[in-house]
Copies of this chain bind each other. A is one copy, B any other.
Amino acid sequence: MRTVDPAKREAKRLQILAAAARCFARKGFGQTRTADICAEAGMSPGNLFYYFGSKQDIFAAVVEQDGVDTEALFAGLSAAEPWDALTRFFDLVVDLAADADYARLALEISAQAHRDERIAALVAANDRSVRSGLADLVARATGAGRIDPGLDPTTTATWLATLVDGLFNRVAVDAGFAPERERESLHLILARLLRHEAQPES
């Protein structure tokens, strides 16, 4: 007999993932115990283990959820004018990087991907969807005459993704770097990198 409503179950699952994400961000994967996640989520170990088999499974689900959120983000930009969409994507990245827990979690996930093949595969899939979302935006903006047609969308998307990675890392190493204050210089950088008015001599 099924006693748990699927929507409630999903809400509970997301609540655990959000609590776990905060724990992993603050203590790292290695130092986080499932007891910490239970305390943060305000639930018993028995209840937690009804949803996830292990700390490893929870971490993997956090990374998977990040991928789901990324797809939703790009879907939300698909109707916008492509150059605006690209600029808004970077504004959203700036908002995420300005959230200390999110920035820390991003780094922790990258570090963990080096040591766990399952995490590496999930991270690689998320990264592919970021790059393909960006490549689509670049291709559409090029078609609309907003980006230098001499730029290859795939290579360009890879470098834009590199800039995204760098933003999260910058927050980690440089206490003086406030992403939300850098919005304007980031827009200038995107214009210099991409607009066809910005042709370098070599």
Which residues of A pack against B, CB within 8 Å? 26-28, 30-31, 104, 107-108, 110-111, 113-115, 123-124, 127, 131, 155, 158-159, 161-170, 172-175, 177, 182, 185, 188-189, 191-193, 195, 197-202
Contacts and interface: CB of A to CB of B under 8 A. Distances in A.
Contacts of A189: 159, 193
19 contacts: A28-B30, A28-B115, A104-B114, A107-B107, A110-B169, A110-B172, A111-B172, A113-B173, A114-B172, A127-B173, A158-B170, A164-B166, A165-B166, A165-B169, A166-B169, A169-B169, A195-B202, A197-B199, A198-B199
A200 B197 contact: yes
Given A30-B31, A31-B30, A175 B115 contact: no
A39 to B, nearest CB: 18
Taking chain A's interface residues, is the majority helix, strand, or loop, or is none over half, making it mixed? helix
Copies in the complex: 2
B202 A191 contact: yes
Contacts of A28: 30, 111, 114-115
5 closest residue pairs by CB, A with B: A166-B166, A30-B30, A165-B169, A162-B166, A191-B200
A187 to B, nearest CB: 8
A188 B165 CA distance: 20
Nearest to A200: B191
B185 A192 contact: no
A201 B170 CA distance: 28
Contacts of A31: 30, 115
Nearest to A193: B192
A149 to B, nearest CB: 14
Given A28-B115, A107-B114, A162 B167 contact: yes
Given A163-B162, A165-B165, A115 B191 contact: no
